[in-house]
Amino acid sequence: MKTALITGASARLAEPMARFFATRGYRLLLHLRRPRKTTEALVSELRAQGAIVECLVADFAERAMIDEFCAQMAKPFGAPDVIVNNASAFQHDLPGAANARFLEESLLVHTVAPFLILETAVRAKGADAGLTVFNILDQKLLSPNPDYYSYTLGKAGLLSLTELWIRAAREDVRVFGLLPGLMFPSGPQSEERFAEDCRKIPTRQSLPPQDLCALMGFLLDNPGIPGALFPLDGGEHLLARRRDVAFE
């Protein structure tokens, strides 16, 4: 039985991803920044359906906790077969009005933690074992705007990490960068504003998280496909906005 590690498992995208891997028969190792009742309910539901699920709690905004997480990561099920780097630190600032604490947290969560998790997993896996990594990025990295300045810098580090692993061209490790656009309301968006903003993108609708899961499934089912970047944003990155859509 294979194992999927999902970081940031208390975030919104994590629930459909956890259900997706559970339906495929994966054991689930869910990382949480802190315990949450919604995640406890999801874990109970998945276990009742027969899934094998374990959780590890670690605040990736603290470097020591990243190291502790990596030391514990392989204990429940051994080295993971799939890693989804989904943990995020999403706080708003702008160039000229930036917050160094936001930047430090963003770099730890988005870049340092995935870097160390991937290095740990590669060292822990068997020589003949394969590893597939999905790094959850952001379409704005393909067409940057100044909103969420520190967040973007941290995600840019994860993008570079992804591209360097792709260029490493290892047969045993595939690294994919998934760049979703509008999927859930965020920041100052109300449900009404979110629906309005979705009509501004070329497809005029948000991407359902099930489509992202379907792409992961396709890539898992086709191990000959090498690592690559995949925008999933309805063409949002082609519009070259000067501000985040939530602030236009």
136, β-bridge pairs: 178
Task: Determine the number of helices (DSSP H) and then strands (DSSP E) in the chain.
Answer: 8, 7
pLDDT the model gives residue 187: 65
- Look at strands 229-232 and 82-85 and give their pairing: unpaired
Counting beta carbons within 10 angstroms of the beta carbon of residue 144, is it exposed (0 to 12), middle (13 to 18) or buried (19 or more)? middle
d(CA 136, CA 87): 8
Give me the tens of pLDDT residue by residue for the chain, a chain 248 residues long: 999 999 999 878 999 999 999 999 999 999 999 988 888 899 999 999 999 999 999 999 999 999 999 999 999 999 999 999 999 999 999 999 999 999 999 999 999 999 999 999 999 999 999 999 999 999 999 999 999 999 999 999 999 999 999 999 999 999 999 999 876 777 666 778 877 777 877 777 778 899 999 999 999 999 999 999 999 887 788 888 888 877 77
d(CA 160, CA 157): 5
Look up the pTM and report it.
0.93
pLDDT the model gives residue 25: 97
Map residue 29 onto helix, strand or coil: strand
pLDDT the model gives residue 203: 76
Counting beta carbons within 10 angstroms of the beta carbon of residue 171, is it exposed (0 to 12), middle (13 to 18) or buried (19 or more)? exposed
d(CA 130, CA 153): 30
Tokens (6 digits) for 119: 């290095």
Return the amino acid letter for 225: I
Structural domain total, the chain? 1
What CATH number has the domain bearing residue 45? 3.40.50.720
Containing structural domain, residue 192: 3-247
Q: Which residues in the chain belong to E strands, given as ranges? A: 3-6, 27-32, 53-57, 82-85, 131-136, 173-180, 229-232
Q: Which residues in 194-233 belong to E strands, given as ranges? A: 229-232
